[in-house]
Structure 1
Amino acid sequence: MQASGIASRSSSPPRTPGADQRDRFLTFAFAAADLLVETGPHATITFAAGAFRHHLGEAPEAFVGRPLDDLIAAEERGALAMAMQLLAARGRLPPTAIRLNDARRTPFSLAGLAPSGPQGQFCLTFGPLPAPPRAPTVAEGAAFGRAAAGLMQGPGGSAVLALIDLPDEIRRAIARRPELQGELDAALLEGSGGGLTGRLSPGRYGLVSSRQPPDLPGLAARMEAVLLSHGLPGEVSTRNLPLDPESLTPAQATRALRHALSNFATGGTAALATGGLTEALRDIAAQAGTIRRAIGERRFDLLYQPIVDLRDRRTHHYEALLRPGGQQVDTFIRCAEAVGLTEELDLAVADTVLDALRFTPGVHVALNISGLSMQSPRFRQALQNRLDANRALLPRLMAELTESVEIENEEEARATLDMLRARGVSLCIDDFGAGAAAFRYLRNFAVNWVKVDGAYVQNAVRSERDRSFVASMVDLSLAVGARVIAEQVETEEHAAVMASLGVELAQGYLFARPGRLPGAPPPRRLA
């Protein structure tokens, strides 16, 4: 894989251990910089990589062969000449403030190194000036779950999960009084002892500490004082959930934790098992029969949300979204994963999508496939049989690789993706950026599309740093031949920012909510 938006005069060498080392150094460089530049004699750019489209409006390759001055604001070029003289004399340029040649003359930090080799060759990095540390915030549910799972599997494995539940009448009041939500969040952060905090649903919070159990009575008292100041007396209930991953595999522990958090978010402390993660996993297994019947009898719906071209707002394709009857989507999927029914569920969804495509000529649909299914030879063969029986429909089918479960057997997953690609099915990595594994998938799997996680889309309208991160994701995707989709585009501002960063397609409430596929018959129900 090339690094983000790389452009150079020379062609890429064959993959060697040295090439792997170069990839590693590039990754380290991008951790601190947005733009990487190499210059030859006469300060001519010979290599460019990074978020050039975002900052300077052109692709990296457009700058190869041009003078270094083209990157720098005119009024700063004298300072640049002095900096380059310092670099030539000392072999290293410490971080130096300089302004880019963009419309806003954005301040950046320029640093450089003169490697051994041809005289006049310099390696330069451009990174945003450091911003003050962000104030601590309460994470939203999905982000909290991912971070909590990471802490649970971390060194020592001694993390403690505390859950905080407010009375139902107060939870209803929070929806009408956003200032109350803010004060409760502040009280939680103040009493967290530096632990990870999350809001799982209005009035229901989680707190994970990897050092020592939090002072739950003191925390409850802080939050009750906030409620009382708003004329809402009420008792805050708390509970510790033992995190005991030693008795479970990492995958089992993660699924059990997600299931427990989902139950708490919807039903409070009353919906939790009393024996920690092991009992939570047993609770999931007890639901296996119900889930198997729901899948076998097709007691679920698929809703379809359009994904549109940002240039003309025409529908490019639809995503099929699972809606299990009477259950939360996340809870249903987590249960299916935990009891080994993910493959059956994904095949049932594929059957339903293929049925819909038969009745909707010209419509393209993306279906989601779990990482668990992707690495299963049995699933691959069953899906291949279905696809081979419906070859005429396959040019209108896309498969999205979801990251609800991280892929461990990449060889088997690649075989499934190769099977899909060989049959003309377009491939997409879903929720790109939501987890570290997505970057590994982009490196190791050839895909047609990348879908940027909605959290980054939401934050990009407020934060220059988040916009820069999305720009880097776009450049990285385009560098490996993948086009980009943004999800959770809910306002015209979201759409404009994504289009400016090079995103091609978008999905979100701005365009349409999930609904029935135009022209498709009602879903089948099997006896």
Structure 2
Amino acid sequence: MSPARHRILGDRERFVAFAFAAADLLVEVAQDGRIGFAAGAFRARLGKPPESFVGTDPVRLVAPEDRRLFATALAMLPGRGRLAPTAFRLADGDHTPFSVSGLHILSSDSSARLCLAFSPLPAAPDLRPADAAALLREAEQRLRAGTAEHLTLIETGNAICSATTERVEQALREEAGAEALAAQLGPGRYGVLAGEDQALPDLGALAARLERLLGTQAGALLSVTQVELAGGALTASQAARALRHGLGAFARFGAAGLRDAGFAQGLGGVVARVTERAGALRRIIADRRFRLEFQPIVDLGTRQVHHHEALLRLAPGALAPGEGPQEFVSLAETIGLTEELDLAVASMALAAAHAVPEGRHVAFNLSGLSVQSAGFRKRLLAALDRDPRGTRRVMVELTESVEIEDEEAAATTLRGLRKRGVPVCIDDFGAGAAAFRYLKAFPTDYVKVDGSYVQAALTSERDRSFVAAMVDLSLAVGAQVVAERIETEAAAQAMQALGVHYGQGWLFGKPGPL
């Protein structure tokens, strides 16, 4: 770990982070009895941004029937020094019960302040099943920690119904133990990661239970396999990329895909098998056997196109059947061709950007691997300097398919881009654990909320609050917010109500020619 990773949070920032972890709303009341500072999920809870409450009476935050008691509690707070967690109803539509705690402090200018934290009442833990992304993230984190683990992979047929899929996932969790993660990786394909320091599931018992569950259905059990997650001579990053590629092959092709990917020889075998394809992949990049398609991103207020995202599309026959753009990027990352691919995409995006009006942009993706490289930085910035007209019309989206290890080097690259007027967007915000750290570490103009959260927010109050918190956090660092996977008018209106500026999805247009 680089030294910069240890200097991410100062004491003040750490205390603020703890406060946000415990509360939805943070409020500071000045000596005049008015709110002087507000932060948190105000949009999700009260329908307005935090700054709109500054200068108002704090009693307006609670339901009318509780305001007299709340005002009394605030009046007594200076004498007591502290308000223990106390239940008050919030001034939202449902008058939701909240826990409010407070502290009376003196600031550096000797003026008194009341610091209030509004927290939801404790709820039962979120025990929803893990998804494939969560399973992969946990496996990658264990690899990076240097802990040898095993992953159990189960393949059934594809024809089982959704109700049976839920029963399969439940059976996997019960057999593997309470601390295990179990998730569907693809149709009829599942992964189970045992809890740390937990015994591996008994494969015989697991197979027998699944066979009883599936019975004579068309989705009969095909295989149960355990693979060792040990990097061997690979670096942690190489092992993580190999794991990502191998599980992608299993999700698409099952046990046969695992064998073809080289998993029989462990993660090193995956790298060796992919390396055999390096020459062909390098020729695909050099010969530009791919094209860019462009999807519009629109202003949710005006519905006017703000910019386009350039999306990679492979030429027919460039890769094996079943492999697409994401697999191509994964292959390039695994064998070290990411910089060549990113430079090729940047060159094509620059050329395409000449066709858009002044003030509109074409966004292209940059991998976390590339932005850490001094050599890549030099070549990319030189390409931008050779084409000032195109440079004025492009922006970059930093992807999190690979975790950035040298954050200072990456920040240097991004600062070089912004110095040339190229805006920076953090892609798939919320999908990976590192995105929140990137928001602090890197100069950021836009944040793109991962589409899974956008979809979940339409039906789940918990996920809606999470999106609102991401919006507020982004605005706090001066970044505007883009929401992915806007497919309905209801989704567009829901995101706009949460303070999201821009939307991308089939409601506004599918990828196509610029």
What's the TM-score, normalizing by structure 2? 0.90
- Residue 147 and residue 513 in structure 1: after superposition, are their counterparts in 2 closer, same or farther (change >3 A)? farther
Distance 2:416 2:245 in 1: 32
* Equivalent runs, 1:91-102 vs 2, <5 Å: 91-102=81-92
**Which residue, out of 301, 307, 319, partners 2:297?**
307
Quick check: 2:210–2:221 contact (8 Å CA) kept in 1? no
* Equivalent runs, 1:198-217 vs 2, <5 Å: 198-209=183-194, 210=196, 211-217=198-204
Q: Which moved more, 1:285-294 or 1:81-90?
A: 81-90
> Corresponding residue for 1:152?
143
Q: Does residue 364 of the first structure (1) align with residue 348 of the second (2)?
A: no
> Corresponding residue for 2:15?
25
> Corresponding residue for 1:436?
433
Give the Å deviation of 1:66.
Answer: 2.2
The letter for the 1-side match of 2:249 is N
> Corresponding residue for 2:393?
396
Quick check: 2:150–2:229 contact (8 Å CA) kept in 1? yes
Q: Does residue 190 of the first structure (1) align with residue 174 of the second (2)?
A: yes
Q: Does residue 316 of the first structure (1) align with residue 306 of the second (2)?
A: yes
- Residue 411 and residue 192 in structure 1: after superposition, are their counterparts in 2 closer, same or farther (change >3 A)? same
The letter for the 2-side match of 1:203 is G
> Corresponding residue for 1:124?
116
- Residue 89 and residue 158 in structure 1: after superposition, are their counterparts in 2 closer, same or farther (change >3 A)? farther
Quick check: 1:38–1:46 contact (8 Å CA) kept in 2? yes
> Corresponding residue for 2:50?
60
- Residue 198 and residue 233 in structure 1: after superposition, are their counterparts in 2 closer, same or farther (change >3 A)? closer
- Residue 138 and residue 448 in structure 1: after superposition, are their counterparts in 2 closer, same or farther (change >3 A)? closer
Quick check: 1:349–1:367 contact (8 Å CA) kept in 2? yes
The letter for the 2-side match of 1:461 is L
- Structure 2: segments with no counterpart, 5+ residues: 1-6
Aligned length: 492
> Corresponding residue for 1:520?
none
- String of CA shifts for 1:143-175, please: whole Å, max 9, x gaps: 321122123334x71321011011xxx30x23x
Distance 1:456 1:360 in 2: 31
- SS of the aligned residue for 1:43 comes to coil
- String of CA shifts for 1:182-226, please: whole Å, max 9, x gaps: 222222222222311121111011111132211222222222222
Distance 2:133 2:99 in 1: 34
The letter for the 2-side match of 1:218 is A
Quick check: 1:216–1:238 contact (8 Å CA) kept in 2? yes
Give the Å deviation of 1:86.
Answer: 5.6
Percent of residue pairs identical? 50
* Equivalent runs, 1:100-499 vs 2, <5 Å: 100-115=90-105, 121-139=113-131, 141-154=132-145, 157-166=147-156, 170-171=157-158, 173-174=159-160, 177-194=161-178, 195-209=180-194, 210=196, 211-228=198-215, 231-232=217-218, 234-272=220-258, 273-324=263-314, 325-326=318-319, 327-361=323-357, 364-499=361-496
The letter for the 1-side match of 2:187 is P
Quick check: 1:138–1:185 contact (8 Å CA) kept in 2? no
- String of CA shifts for 1:425-452, please: whole Å, max 9, x gaps: 1211111112232112211222211101
Give the Å deviation of 1:243.
Answer: 0.9
Quick check: 1:322–1:329 contact (8 Å CA) kept in 2? yes
Quick check: 1:96–1:109 contact (8 Å CA) kept in 2? yes
> Corresponding residue for 1:13?
none
The letter for the 1-side match of 2:424 is L
The letter for the 2-side match of 1:227 is L
Distance 1:179 1:233 in 2: 12
Quick check: 1:429–1:438 contact (8 Å CA) kept in 2? yes
Quick check: 1:201–1:266 contact (8 Å CA) kept in 2? yes
The letter for the 2-side match of 1:328 is G
- String of CA shifts for 1:366-410, please: whole Å, max 9, x gaps: 000011111111111111222122111222211111111122222
Q: RMSD across aligned C-alpha pairs, in angstroms?
A: 2.3
Distance 1:379 1:26 in 2: 36
The letter for the 1-side match of 2:504 is Q
Give the Å deviation of 1:136.
Answer: 3.8
Give the Å deviation of 1:82.
Answer: 4.1
Q: Which moved more, 1:29-38 or 1:403-412?
A: 403-412
- String of CA shifts for 1:249-283, please: whole Å, max 9, x gaps: 21111111101101111111122220211211222
Quick check: 1:262–1:330 contact (8 Å CA) kept in 2? no
Distance 2:13 2:130 in 1: 35
> Corresponding residue for 2:3?
none
Give the Å deviation of 1:116.
Answer: 5.8
Give the Å deviation of 1:470.
Answer: 1.2
- Structure 1: segments with no counterpart, 5+ residues: 1-16, 518-527
Quick check: 1:138–1:189 contact (8 Å CA) kept in 2? no
Give the Å deviation of 1:295.
Answer: 0.6
Distance 2:478 2:219 in 1: 58
Distance 1:122 1:478 in 2: 24
Give the Å deviation of 1:494.
Answer: 1.9
What's the TM-score, normalizing by structure 1? 0.88
Quick check: 2:103–2:116 contact (8 Å CA) kept in 1? yes
Give the Å deviation of 1:120.
Answer: 5.6
- Residue 205 and residue 233 in structure 1: after superposition, are their counterparts in 2 closer, same or farther (change >3 A)? closer
Give the Å deviation of 1:72.
Answer: 1.4
- String of CA shifts for 1:113-145, please: whole Å, max 9, x gaps: 233666863221011222222334141x33321
Quick check: 1:242–1:275 contact (8 Å CA) kept in 2? no
Distance 2:92 2:217 in 1: 52
Q: Which moved more, 1:106-115 or 1:391-400?
A: 106-115
Quick check: 2:106–2:112 contact (8 Å CA) kept in 1? no
Distance 1:124 1:390 in 2: 52
Quick check: 1:224–1:233 contact (8 Å CA) kept in 2? no
- Residue 163 and residue 506 in structure 1: after superposition, are their counterparts in 2 closer, same or farther (change >3 A)? same
Distance 2:111 2:501 in 1: 42
- Residue 425 and residue 120 in structure 1: after superposition, are their counterparts in 2 closer, same or farther (change >3 A)? closer
- SS of the aligned residue for 2:221 comes to coil
The letter for the 1-side match of 2:493 is A
- String of CA shifts for 1:38-58, please: whole Å, max 9, x gaps: 223353323222122332233
Quick check: 1:451–1:486 contact (8 Å CA) kept in 2? yes
The letter for the 2-side match of 1:501 is L
